[in-house]
């Protein structure tokens, strides 16, 4: 038989347990999630506990969240936005109350016993929770407005006054010089910013820069940072951002802070837990 266009093959039936993250069992009670409907409303979000650890979980139909189904659904913007927001909303319900190890989207177990087994097998989760106690993540992005930078640093009176071919050459030369100055400024500013912010935090990560179209922002992204901040030091951290802003605003740099987030950037992304 010839293969038809993508057989509806592995569409599974039945249900699985979607895990959002892990908290210390003693610090969170299930009613924290009473208002969260989870990724498959109206499924109840519950805690599945084993010894000191509890997984935040809800049941999901595998017809929607099974391997084949989810790969398809990821291409559906409305579905994806909805589920990603639901995942975050569940974690945020716990964020203010207890340390929290966030799981990546789409971690699904066959049944609650397997969830418990996961908790037993990954003792590193407990150590991570201790490390994260009393902290959350803040995101800081810095954007450089090239036109603004060039206006400030591109003055070359010679070029403005010269005429004809010479003016053209001088302008070309000036543009190249300004371009070079801009890239080295961007690198230095990003480094300085990341160092200052990491110093104001427990830990810091400089993530790959997002391209213009992905960032959805005017200006070139020069820093895509995530910082693990003690809750009581949030104010001081935001002041550090404001200080950077006043240092670099004149050069065309803007900063954007997001969060508090669960510490997505400060948990290992593989199974070493």
Please report, as ranges, the residues that interact with other proteins according to CB under 8 A. 12, 16, 21-22, 62, 65-67, 70-71, 74-78, 80-81, 84-85, 87-88, 92, 101-110, 114, 117-118, 121-122, 125, 139, 210, 213-218, 256, 258, 261-262, 264-265, 267-271, 273
The DSSP result for 208-255, as a single string, is: PPPPHHHHT-SSEEEEEEEEEEEGGGHHHHHHHHHHHHHHHGGGTEEE
Q: Output the smallest distance, CB 183 to other proteins, in A.
A: 24
State whether residue 58 is helix, strand or coil: strand
Residue 71 or residue 236: which is nearer to other proteins going by CB? 71
What is the token pair recorded at 266?
A: 């400060």
Q: Output the smallest distance, CB 133 to other proteins, in A.
A: 17
Q: Output the smallest distance, CB 2 to other proteins, in A.
A: 28
Residue 178 or residue 220: which is nearer to other proteins going by CB? 220
Give the dihedral sign, CA 254/258/263/265.
negative
Residue 103 or residue 248: which is nearer to other proteins going by CB? 103
Q: How far is CA 37 from CA 25, 73, 77, 86, 238, in A?
A: 20, 19, 20, 7, 32
Q: Output the smallest distance, CB 189 to other proteins, in A.
A: 20
Q: How far is CA 43 from CA 83, 89, 100, 116, in A?
A: 13, 14, 21, 19
For the CA atoms of 185, 191, 196, 197, the dihedral, rounded to the nearest 10 degrees, stands at 110
**Strand pairing category for 108-109 and 203-206:** unpaired
Q: Output the smallest distance, CB 163 to other proteins, in A.
A: 36
Residue 12 or residue 156: which is nearer to other proteins going by CB? 12
Residue 135 or residue 273: which is nearer to other proteins going by CB? 273
Residue 113 or residue 239: which is nearer to other proteins going by CB? 113
> What's the DSSP call for residue 75?
T
What is the token pair recorded at 94?
A: 């716990």
Question: Any idea which residue has 């910013």 for tokens?
Answer: 193
Q: Output the smallest distance, CB 31 to other proteins, in A.
A: 20
């Amino acid at each position: 038989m010839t293969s038809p266009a993508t057989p509806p093959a592995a569409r599974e039936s039945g249900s699985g347990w979607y895990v959002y993250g892990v908290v210390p069992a003693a610090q969170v009670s299930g009613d924290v999630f009473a208002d969260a409907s989870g990724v498959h409303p109206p499924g109840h979000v519950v805690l599945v506990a084993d010894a000191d650890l509890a997984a935040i979980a809800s049941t999901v139909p595998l017809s929607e969240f099974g391997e084949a189904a989810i790969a398809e659904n990821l291409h559906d913007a409305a579905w994806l936005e909805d589920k990603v927001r639901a995942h975050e909303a569940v974690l945020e319900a716990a964020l203010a109350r207890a340390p929290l190890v966030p799981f990546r989207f789409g971690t699904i177990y066959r049944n609650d016993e397997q969830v418990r087994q996961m908790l037993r097998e990954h003792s590193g989760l407990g150590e991570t929770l201790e490390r994260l106690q009393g902290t959350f993540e803040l995101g800081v992005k810095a954007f450089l407005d090239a036109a603004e930078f060039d206006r400030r640093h591109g003055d070359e009176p010679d070029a403005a006054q010269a005429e004809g071919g010479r003016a053209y050459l001088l302008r070309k030369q000036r543009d190249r010089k300004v371009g070079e100055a801009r890239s080295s400024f961007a690198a230095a500013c990003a480094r300085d910013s990341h160092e200052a912010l990491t110093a104001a935090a427990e830990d810091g990560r400089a993530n790959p820069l997002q391209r213009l179209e992905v960032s959805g922002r005017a200006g070139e992204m020069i820093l895509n940072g995530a910082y693990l901040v003690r809750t009581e030091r949030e104010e001081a951290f935001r002041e550090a951002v404001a200080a950077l802003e006043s240092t670099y605003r004149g050069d065309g740099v803007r900063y954007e802070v997001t969060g508090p987030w669960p510490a997505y950037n400060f948990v290992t992304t593989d199974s070493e837990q």
